[in-house]
């Protein structure tokens, strides 16, 4: 008797990224396969490291994800499912950090832009980082007393960070639509 292995799903970003959140929503039992780029997501599926791929297709604030559409045109893939994730940004820091002590906030440039008014009200310097969840992981590994990050609640949970404030995005209508892609029907 053979034992069934869990489906592996590739996504762009670190564990705790919004694409990881979409993966969990689509396939809670799937094994996450984090990838650096959208190209790497599809390579992981093509070379057998992943069974499915998760790609963001459009965001209600930023519009279409053009690189994802280009990849869909270049590859013979099947849309297996669609997932919509409410993007809820959270301000998080190392446990014990006081919000009043903060001076800097790191995150992906898109997330920082979506929280621009919030950061201005709190007089916090926005520091661009390659990834929302990557900024959370890096802060957890190297805590900085005057620094926080903006990322998902999943990232806070995975990296042991404390959410200081939830819903710090300037506009509440922030949703991203993802496709779960496969090589076969």
CB 132, CB 114: distance < 8 Å:
no
Cα separation, 53 vs 65, whole angstroms: 15
178 is catalytic: yes
Q: Which of 11, 38, 178, 179 is catalytic?
A: 178
CA nearest to 30, candidates 48, 14, 52, 45: 52
3-state secondary structure of 151: strand
Q: Kindly write down the DSSP assignment for every residue of 19-80, as one continuous string.
A: HHHHHHHH-TTSEEEEESSHHHHHHHHHTTS-SEEEEEEEETTTEE-HHHHHHHHHS--EEE
5 is catalytic: no
Q: Which of 11, 38, 176, 179 is catalytic?
A: 176
| Active site amino acids | 176, 178
């Amino acid at each position: 008797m053979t034992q069934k292995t869990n489906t592996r799903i590739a996504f762009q970003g670190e564990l705790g990224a919004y694409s990881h959140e979409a993966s969990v929503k689509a396939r809670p039992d799937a094994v996450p396969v984090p990838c650096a780029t959208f190209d790497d997501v599809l390579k992981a599926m093509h070379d057998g490291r992943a069974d499915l791929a998760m790609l963001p297709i459009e965001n209600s604030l930023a519009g279409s994800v053009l690189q994802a559409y280009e990849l869909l045109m270049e590859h013979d893939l099947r849309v297996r499912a669609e997932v919509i994730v409410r993007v809820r940004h959270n301000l998080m820091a190392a446990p014990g950090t006081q919000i009043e002590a903060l001076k800097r906030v790191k995150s992906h440039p898109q997330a920082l832009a979506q929280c621009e008014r919030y950061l201005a009200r709190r007089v916090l310097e926005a520091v661009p980082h390659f990834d929302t969840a990557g900024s959370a992981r890096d802060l957890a590994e190297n805590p900085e007393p005057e620094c926080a990050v903006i990322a998902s609640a999943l990232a806070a949970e995975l990296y042991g960070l404390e959410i200081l404030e939830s819903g710090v995005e300037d506009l509440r209508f922030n949703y991203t639509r993802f496709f779960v892609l496969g090589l076969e029907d």
